[in-house]
Structure 1
Amino acid sequence: MTRLLLPLEHPTATAEHAAEDALLHALKRLPRRVQQVFLLNRLDQLDFATLSARLDLPLSSIERHMNQALQAGRSRLDVLASVAGQWYVRLQSPHVTACERIDFRRWLDADPANLQAFHDTELRWRSLLAPARQLGQDGWYRQGRAALSLGGCSIAMGLGVAALLLFGFWA
C-alpha cells in the first residue's frame, strides 16, 4: 500500500508574529520623536539622563515619551496597566526618589492586581524588543534630529527654490 505524502502547510502568521506585527504597527503610529527616544533607549541601551543630554530634552519629556511607547497599542481604558507603565518608566529615571520607591512598594503591596499589572508591563517591555529592532533597522533614530520628517524638509526646499526662481525672474 502506498502512502500519499502531502507537504505540511505552515501557517503564514503565528500568534506570536501577529502580536509582534500589531506592536510594530502601534509603534509606527507614534510621533517620530517618541520613536527616537524609545529606540535609543531600547536598542542602544541609553539611559534617561544620557538621552536627555543627547537630545536636549528635559528628563520629564524623556519619561513621557517612554511611557507613550510602552503604552502603544494598549487600550486607554486599562487604567491599571497605565499606572503600572508609569511606575515602570519612573523607576528607570535617575531622579526617582527614595520616597517614590517606597510609594511604589506600597502600591505594589496594596493589591495583587497591581503586582500582576506590573509583571505584565515587564513582559510587555520585553516583547517590544523585536518590533523595535524592525522599526530601527536602518538606524534612522541615531541621527541628531531624526524626528524631523523628510517630507517637511522637501516642502521647505521646494518653496525655497520656487521663491528663488520667482525672484530671479523679477530681477
Structure 2
Amino acid sequence: MTRLLLPLEHAPHTDSAPTEDDLLHSLKRLPRRVQQVFLLNRLDQLDFATLAGRLDLPLLSIERHMNQALQTARPQGDAVASVAGQWYVRLQSPQVTASERIDFRRWLDAAPEHVQAFHETELRWRSLLAPARQLGHDGWYRQGRAALSLGGCSIALSLGVAALLAFDYWA
C-alpha cells in the first residue's frame, strides 16, 4: 500500500493534523494483532494475501485490521473520511472485484468531498510511516502467533497451577 492511488498534487498541512506522537499513541492503543498486521504491511511491505497466509487469518480479517489501523489517524466524526479509508483498504485487497472498483469510481465521482477525503486518506497513510517505525523498532511484530499469545497462556497456566495447589492444600 505504499503507492498512491490518486496523483499527489500537493500536501496541504492543516493545523488539525495529528502529530507523530499522537499517531504513535493511537497505534499503541490498538490490539496487538492489529498492530502486528499493520506493521508487517507497512514496514515489511507484505501484501494482504501474504499476511493472511503467514498469520493464518482470513483476508477479511486482514482488511478489518488494516482499516482499524488507518482509522486511528482519521478525524473523529468525519463519515466521509471513514468511507474513504474503507475504500482505500478495500482497493488493496486481492479479493476486490471489478464491480467494487466501479462502485468506488462512482463514489469518488459523486462529490468533490469524496476526492478530497480519499486524497487525505492517502496522506494519512503516509503520515503513519514514522510512528510505525517507532512502534516496530525492535521487530517484535515479526514473531508468529505464539509470541503474541504467550503472555495469555502463561497467565492461564499460572492460574491453573495455583488452583491445583489450592485444591491440593484444602484436600
User: TM-score band, normalised by the shorter chain?
Assistant: 0.7 to 0.9
Q: TM-score, normalized by length of structure 1?
A: 0.81
2:114 is the counterpart of 1:114: yes
Q: Report the equivalent of 1:7.
A: none
Deviation at 1:168, TM superposition (A): 6.8
Q: Report the equivalent of 2:6.
A: none
Q: State the distance in 2 between where 1:120 and 1:155 align.
A: 43
Larger radius of gyration: 1
Amino acid of the structure 2 residue aligned with 1:44: D
Do the aligned partners of residues 56 and 130 (structure 1) sit closer, same or farther apart at CA in structure 2, a change above 3 Å counting?
same
Number of residue pairs aligned between Structure 1 and Structure 2? 154
State the identity %. 79
Q: State the distance in 2 between where 1:70 and 1:31 align.
A: 13
Deviation at 1:119, TM superposition (A): 0.5
Q: TM-score, normalized by length of structure 2?
A: 0.81
**Partners of 2:23 and 2:128 within 8 A in 1:** yes
Do the aligned partners of residues 124 and 149 (structure 1) sit closer, same or farther apart at CA in structure 2, a change above 3 Å counting?
farther
Deviation by residue 1:109-128 (Cα, 9 ceiling, x = unmatched): 11111111000000000000
Deviation at 1:170, TM superposition (A): 8.0
Q: Report the equivalent of 1:60.
A: 60
Q: What's the Cα RMSD here?
A: 2.1
SS at match of 1:148: helix
**Partners of 1:49 and 1:59 within 8 A in 2:** yes
Runs of 5+ consecutive residues of structure 2 not aligned to the other structure:
1-14
**Partners of 2:74 and 2:124 within 8 A in 1:** no
Q: State the distance in 2 between where 1:105 and 1:147 align.
A: 39
Deviation by residue 1:41-68 (Cα, 9 ceiling, x = unmatched): 0011110011111111111111011000
Deviation at 1:73, TM superposition (A): 4.3
Runs of 4+ residues over 6 Å off in structure 1: 167-171
- Report which stretch shifted further, 138-147 or 81-90: 138-147
Amino acid of the structure 1 residue aligned with 2:23: L
Q: State the distance in 1 between where 2:114 and 2:150 align.
A: 39
Q: Map of 1:1-171 to 2, 5 A cutoff?
A: 19-145=19-145, 146-148=147-149, 150=151, 152-163=152-163, 165-166=165-166
Q: State the distance in 1 between where 2:170 and 2:70 align.
A: 54
